[in-house]
Structure 1
């Protein structure tokens, strides 16, 4: 891979990052708060590629002039294995990975953590909560501010080996590589047919019932379902509220 090819790869990688950053595609890789850094990285790569091409062109002109126009002389080529760097670029351009789903969720223990505090609940009925928000309030606040309210939560369906249903959202620290599930067990008026990875908007009420995650023995609260409606996959499929 010569310098011109290196510059081309840098340019295409930067352009791919800018494309992902200006669309919702980046949400499949990193949390929303990292969008400015992603765009900055793309811009830096493009600037680097242009600088690389410019210095290579100027160096060739200077070498040719010094040789009296007889050519640039011997060219040192980079190892061919460097072309493997193109594979991640092709993956970024051609493949949009799906968000992590039930397969990962049921093979990873719940990442539920006790928060430092709780935000004020909105004055809405039903209360719109994230999976993480409901789970932390149900487990660590013992549902003190949830009792007596209807609650609306959105997540994807996961089933354990016994067929027990869970509503799950994958929580992020930084990027999809460190995503971990937070789970809510469902009881009450559960739809008769549930398909893993299908997204549901569940309305229900708090119940003090809990179970333990078979993977890491972490706490999993229940939600008593009163209605469940299928919904499309959200723009941002990950839940970032657990560490905000």
Structure 2
């Protein structure tokens, strides 16, 4: 790859990192805590690429005319056109941000519930409806022998996916970035169960069915649905 291509690629890659950091699209790939590193990495790449380009321009301006013509002649016979193909993924980030992991990722990855550090769960807060993350709901359903979910009406947020004839509410969990993501799933049951296509984001209200989350079904508890609201994808689509 020629130096000019390397420098331009470096600037564009750094610019792509800055762009997804500023617009918030970085949340499709990494946790919110990684934003300073995304911006810092993008800024360093842009700076290094810009310095290299300026240095090459100055060196080219100082180059003797005869040597310049000879270099251009050799460059004409040995173009590095294929190297420019490496710019296509970077340009794609500028033009179209890939979506967050969704129903397809759930189908290709085994669901699981993170084992809690302790089997003792504090009681849920009072109120007619208790908002919970899917992580907390699935963990309590699978590991809480005290039955803290029993009789409680909860509100969960996630996207729709389908498996084995069931409608699931899912959320991807990441530790660092989308590369280590795994799904949590809840099986929606009852007459109010919604019929939506995959990747539709919902806010679902209902009650857990005791004893339905086990290692046999990858800790996927049943939720008897009482109400459903269709929503837009939240800015941060992942849980941690």
TM-score scaled to structure 2, two decimals? 0.84
> Unpaired segments of 5 or more residues in structure 2?
none
**1:206 Cα offset (Å):** 2.7
**Which region of structure 1 is more displaced relative to structure 2, 137-146 or 86-95?**
137-146
Kept after mapping to 2: 8 A contact 1:142/1:208: no
Cα separation, partners in 2 of 1:218 and 1:100, compared to 1, 3 Å? same
Please give the alpha-carbon distance, in whole angstroms, between the structure 1 residues aligned to 2:61 and 2:123.
Answer: 66
Which residue of the other structure, out of 139, 155, 160, is the alignment partner of 1:152? 155
Please give the alpha-carbon distance, in whole angstroms, between the structure 2 residues aligned to 1:52 and 1:119.
Answer: 58
Residues 94-138 of structure 1 show CA distances to partners (whole Å, capped at 9, x for unaligned) of 222222222321332113221225688555541111111100011
Give the superposed CA RMSD: 2.6
Please give the alpha-carbon distance, in whole angstroms, between the structure 1 residues aligned to 2:55 and 2:133.
Answer: 51
Cα separation, partners in 2 of 1:104 and 1:26, compared to 1, 3 Å? same
**1:86 Cα offset (Å):** 0.6
Cα separation, partners in 2 of 1:46 and 1:192, compared to 1, 3 Å? closer
- 2:117 matches 1:116: yes
Which residue of the other structure, out of 111, 133, 138, is the alignment partner of 2:136? 133
**Which region of structure 1 is more displaced relative to structure 2, 118-127 or 80-89?**
118-127
**1:25 Cα offset (Å):** 1.1
Cα separation, partners in 2 of 1:239 and 1:82, compared to 1, 3 Å? same
Q: Name the structure with the higher helix share.
A: 2
**1:61 Cα offset (Å):** 3.9
Kept after mapping to 1: 8 A contact 2:188/2:225: yes
Question: Number of residues paired by the alignment?
Answer: 233
TM-score scaled to structure 1, two decimals? 0.83
**1:168 Cα offset (Å):** 0.5
Q: For residue 55 of structure 2, what is the aligned residue in structure 1?
A: 55
Q: For residue 25 of structure 1, what is the aligned residue in structure 2?
A: 25
Kept after mapping to 2: 8 A contact 1:109/1:213: no
Kept after mapping to 2: 8 A contact 1:137/1:143: no
> Unpaired segments of 5 or more residues in structure 1?
none
Any residues of structure 2 matched to 1:160-199 within 5 Å, and which? Answer: 160-162=163-165, 164-191=166-193, 193-199=195-201
Please give the alpha-carbon distance, in whole angstroms, between the structure 2 residues aligned to 1:98 and 1:143.
Answer: 39
Cα separation, partners in 2 of 1:4 and 1:121, compared to 1, 3 Å? farther
Residues 125-155 of structure 1 show CA distances to partners (whole Å, capped at 9, x for unaligned) of 4111111110001111236332343211011
* SS in structure 2 at match of 1:220: coil
Kept after mapping to 2: 8 A contact 1:189/1:227: no
Cα separation, partners in 2 of 1:120 and 1:3, compared to 1, 3 Å? farther
Q: For residue 71 of structure 2, what is the aligned residue in structure 1?
A: 74
Cα separation, partners in 2 of 1:44 and 1:124, compared to 1, 3 Å? farther
